[in-house]
Amino acid sequence: MNFGTSRASAIENLNKFVDQNLFEYSKLRNFDFGPENKSNTSCLSPYITHGVINELEVIKKSLSKFSFTKNEKFIQEILWRTYWKGWLELRPGVWIDYLNDLKKIREEFKDNTDYKNAIEGNTSIECFNEWVKELKENNYLHNHTRMWFASIWVFTLDLPWQLGAEFFMKNLYDGDAASNTLGWRWVTGIQTQGKNYLASEWNIKKFTNNRFNKIKLNENAPPKFSDKTYSIIKQDFSNSEIIENQSLLIFENNLSFEITDFQNNKFKKIYIISNNNENRYIKLSEKVLKFKSLLIKDQEQRLKNKSIDCEIIDIGEIKNISNKTIGLYPTVGENLDYLNSNNLKIDFLYRRLDQYSWQYCNKGFFNFKNYIPKIISTFN
Ligand SMILES: Cc1cc2nc3c(=O)[nH]c(=O)nc-3n(C[C@H](O)[C@H](O)[C@H](O)COP(=O)(O)OP(=O)(O)OC[C@H]3O[C@@H](n4cnc5c(N)ncnc54)[C@H](O)[C@@H]3O)c2cc1C
Query: Does residue 150 line the site of ligand 1, with CB under 6 A?
Result: yes
What is the residue with the minimal CA distance to atom 52 of ligand 1? 183
Residues of the chain with CATH 1.25.40.80: 7-89+357-379
The pLDDT of residue 244: 82
Query: Does residue 55 line the site of ligand 1, with CB under 6 A?
Result: no
- Give percent of the chain above pLDDT 70: 100
Mean of the per-residue pLDDT values for the chain?
97
CA 212 – CA 330 distance, rounded (Å): 40
The pLDDT of residue 2: 82
Instruction: Return the number of other C-beta atoms located less than 10 Å from residue 219's C-beta.
Output: 15
pLDDT at 323 over 90: no
What average pLDDT does this structure show over 311-337?
Answer: 96
What superfamily does domain 247-349 belong to in CATH?
Answer: HUPs (3.40.50.620)
Query: Does residue 38 line the site of ligand 1, with CB under 6 A?
Result: no
- Per-residue pLDDT reduced to its tens digit, 256-274: 999 999 999 999 999 999 9
The pLDDT of residue 302: 98
Residues of the chain with CATH 3.40.50.620: 247-349
What average pLDDT does this structure show over 56-63?
Answer: 98
The pLDDT of residue 322: 85
Looking from the CA of residue 176, the nearest atom of ligand 1 is 8
Query: Does residue 13 line the site of ligand 1, with CB under 6 A?
Result: no
Query: Does residue 168 line the site of ligand 1, with CB under 6 A?
Result: yes
Distance, CA of 270 to chain centre: 24
The pLDDT of residue 242: 85
Instruction: Please identify, in words, the CATH class of the domain defined by 105-207.
Output: mainly alpha
CA 7 – CA 270 distance, rounded (Å): 18
pLDDT at 203 over 90: yes
What average pLDDT does this structure show over 180-203?
Answer: 97
Query: Does residue 151 line the site of ligand 1, with CB under 6 A?
Result: no
Q: How far is the CA of 187 from the centre of ligand 1 (A)?
A: 14
Query: Does residue 184 line the site of ligand 1, with CB under 6 A?
Result: yes
pLDDT at 1 over 80: no
Query: Does residue 49 line the site of ligand 1, with CB under 6 A?
Result: yes
Q: How far is the CA of 146 from the centre of ligand 1 (A)?
A: 9
- Per-residue pLDDT reduced to its tens digit, 102-160: 999 999 999 999 999 999 999 999 999 999 999 999 999 999 999 999 999 999 999 99
CA 94 – CA 88 distance, rounded (Å): 7
Decide: pTM greater than 0.75.
yes
Please name the CATH architecture into which domain 7-89+357-379 falls: Alpha Horseshoe (1.25)
Residues of the chain with CATH 1.10.579.10: 105-207
pLDDT tier, 8 (very low <50, low <70, confident <90, very high otherwise): very high
Query: Does residue 187 line the site of ligand 1, with CB under 6 A?
Result: yes
Q: How far is the CA of 174 from the centre of ligand 1 (A)?
A: 8
- Give percent of the chain above pLDDT 90: 96
